[in-house]
Structure 1
Amino acid sequence: MNPNWKTFLSTEQAAFNNDGDIVFPSISSDSEKQIFAVSDLAVLTVTGKDAAKFLQGQITCNISDISETQSSLGAFCNPKGRIITTFLLVKKADTFLLILPVALLEPVKKRLQMYILRSDVQLTDSSNELCLIGLGYPAGQTSGPALPEPLFATVQQDAVFINLSTKQNRCLVISAPETAQALWRTSVGTQGFQPQDSAQWRYLDILSGLPWLTPETSEEFIPQMLNLDKLGGISFNKGCYTGQEIVARTHYLGKTKREMFLAECASSAAPEANTAIIDNSTGTEQSIGTVLMAQSWQNVCKMLIVLQVSDTNDYRLALKNRDQDKVTLLTL
């Protein structure tokens, strides 16, 4: 995180936990205008005259669809079609920005570096140069910068705005520290936005079905298992990329063995990523799925979980080795 941005947030009464979360003093979380300093995502920039061609051969989405007004979810896979990381891909001028989990940025950068060879491509960890802000708006209206349609982007005053969801009316902003500070001051000081903890932004990502990975879940799932096909994160007519054969074969077979679901845990304590899930209706403790990501907020734990596909979806789910904490499937 940029040190000037961190210092600024401290003057705004932010506290920084050891787990990387950013916490603000207890204030009403019922405000319809909310602002977040997003701490668990980072930015990898890709530049150079061969950047577009290079990315086209490595990612699941179509680089030809990406512009300053159109972003996309996507994934970078290993040769077996397993996702190393998911990301949001946006473009600003001639630079591509990949927003991905902080914990996976360096491993992904090293992995991509192996494929560059003699191409004119530069990969840069821009975590210290770019800040991420989340904005939550009242349903049906905006305040401040006009929101584009979902997963569309717009560049305003040296910042990139990405609308993540019409149902939640959320926007992710990418900007330099000076622009981020100005946006924060205006949003909080004159537009009535209330700062909220970064953990709440992660909770909202889960409700949106955004499948962020961790080192524990990296290279465990093919893209369709995380609903990337339904989220527009896979192009099936763009040509070859790393892992494409497995992804395409799964698509044309028309089914996957596992699928991602939104779920709620009976306990307010969030389980770790990769925690096993069992089906009590089978009378065994054999795992039928795992936790992809989980976050507790206001004593409620929401999770994205990946389960073996059932014809009936008639499960009696519980977290293994967690005193059989009950897991309830919700509508995603």
Structure 2
Amino acid sequence: MPISPTAQAVLLEGQDAIAFAQSQFTSQVTALPNGQWQFSSWLDAQGRVRVLFHLARLDDQRLLLVLRGGDATTFAEALRRFVFRSRVKVVIADAWTLGNAPAMPMHIVDANSDVIRLGCGTHTLQLSANAGDNDSWRIAQLHAGWPWLPDDALNEFIPPALSLHRLGAIALDKGCYPGQEIVARLHYRGGNKRHLHRVQLSTSVSDGTALLRNDREFVRLLDVIAHAERVEALAVIADDVASNISQDMENVSDDGIEVKLLDSWQS
């Protein structure tokens, strides 16, 4: 499924918005200043990533969550089950579109009533009513190793497999949140055998495609982009398989798609 130009976003509003997010999400929300954003995620009890998002702190009582895959309505409904007595509202944000804007410093948020811009260093991700240039931000983020999760990749990967520690999306020095014990155990004791890679493909396929070799999955693609007469993708690959691919060994799928390793990221 290609990335939708429609921004899937949720607002958390109220006196307990920051504390609620701190208790549910994987990043250090309380350390985030107003007017900045960070990567964050929401895990299930088994430590798998339910949702990955940009978390922007608009002010002392409002957070904007811009999803990197998934559906805002489904996410909001699931999150509301955990509100209990907290003074926080979970609101589906306006029907914005995703586009590109002139570069702003990394993690800076520029927000007004009808346009919100998230500074990404080399470019800016813009949420607005006018779509503008929808696609130019995608290749920059793919090259940076910022994963986008297709629908069938939600609730499947643990944070190290998506290299979320590298993005600052995982805090190990905060109180409990869903999946925190699994995250800590994997970090301190090891056990993760898959990591995120940027690959080149010999032909284009759909986002989320699982490439098979000898009838077994050997490369799981996330976002796939065709540009400049080549096809690139972010992919989750087992470490031993990635080692073979890097040596141009066993790098062709059962249906003849050749995989070339371009970049790799650890946890």
What TM-score results when the alignment is normalised by the length of structure 1? Answer: 0.70
Shift of 1:226: 0.3
Shift of 1:308: 0.9
Shift of 1:200: 3.9
Indicate how the Cα distance of structure 1 residues 121 and 319 shifts in structure 2: closer, same or farther if over 3 A, else same. Answer: farther
Indicate how the Cα distance of structure 1 residues 89 and 258 shifts in structure 2: closer, same or farther if over 3 A, else same. Answer: same
Shift of 1:55: 0.9
Shift of 1:277: 4.4
Quick one: which of 164, 172, 175 aligns to 2:120? 164
Residue in 1 that maps onto 2:160: 224
Which letter maps to 1:124?
V
Are 2:112 and 1:133 aligned? Answer: no
Quick one: which of 195, 201, 206 aligns to 1:259? 195
Residue in 2 that maps onto 1:270: 205
Shift of 1:95: 1.0
Secondary structure of 1:310's partner? Answer: helix
**Cα pair 1:211 1:292 within 8 Å, conserved:** yes
Indicate how the Cα distance of structure 1 residues 174 and 68 shifts in structure 2: closer, same or farther if over 3 A, else same. Answer: farther
Which letter maps to 2:195?
E
Gaps of 5+ in 1: 1-17, 22-38, 138-146, 185-194, 279-283
Secondary structure of 1:108's partner? Answer: helix
**Cα pair 2:56 2:109 within 8 Å, conserved:** no
Shift of 1:20: 7.7
CA distance in 2, matches of 1:275, 1:76: 24
**Cα pair 1:67 1:90 within 8 Å, conserved:** no
**Cα pair 2:197 2:262 within 8 Å, conserved:** yes
Which letter maps to 1:201?
W
**Cα pair 1:224 1:256 within 8 Å, conserved:** yes
Residue in 2 that maps onto 1:27: none
Which letter maps to 1:111?
A
Provide Cα deviations, 1:198-220, integer angstroms capped at 9, x if missing partner: 24433332222111112210011
Which letter maps to 1:224?
P
Residue in 1 that maps onto 2:108: 153
What is the root-mean-square deviation in Å for CA atoms of aligned residues? 2.6
Provide Cα deviations, 1:78-133, integer angstroms capped at 9, x if missing partner: 111000111000011221000004642222112111111222111111132x5543
Indicate how the Cα distance of structure 1 residues 209 and 289 shifts in structure 2: closer, same or farther if over 3 A, else same. Answer: same
Indicate how the Cα distance of structure 1 residues 83 and 277 shifts in structure 2: closer, same or farther if over 3 A, else same. Answer: same
CA distance in 1, matches of 2:242, 2:210: 23
CA distance in 2, matches of 1:215, 1:19: 10
Residue in 1 that maps onto 2:32: 66
Provide Cα deviations, 1:222-280, integer angstroms capped at 9, x if missing partner: 1111010011111100110011111111011145111110101011x2333142343xx
Which letter maps to 1:272?
D
Residue in 2 that maps onto 1:326: 258
Which letter maps to 1:106?
T
Identity of aligned residues (%): 24
Residue in 1 that maps onto 2:47: 81
Residue in 1 that maps onto 2:72: 105
**Cα pair 1:153 1:160 within 8 Å, conserved:** no
CA distance in 1, matches of 2:216, 2:69: 32
Secondary structure of 2:26's partner? Answer: coil
More displaced, 292-301 or 92-101?
292-301
Provide Cα deviations, 1:25-52, integer angstroms capped at 9, x if missing partner: xxxxxxxxxxxxxx15322101111111
Residue in 1 that maps onto 2:87: 120
Are 2:175 and 1:239 aligned? Answer: yes
Gaps of 5+ in 2: none
Are 2:253 and 1:287 aligned? Answer: no
Are 2:160 and 1:207 aligned? Answer: no
**Cα pair 1:87 1:99 within 8 Å, conserved:** yes
**Cα pair 1:40 1:101 within 8 Å, conserved:** no
> Which of 1 and 2 has greater Rg?
1
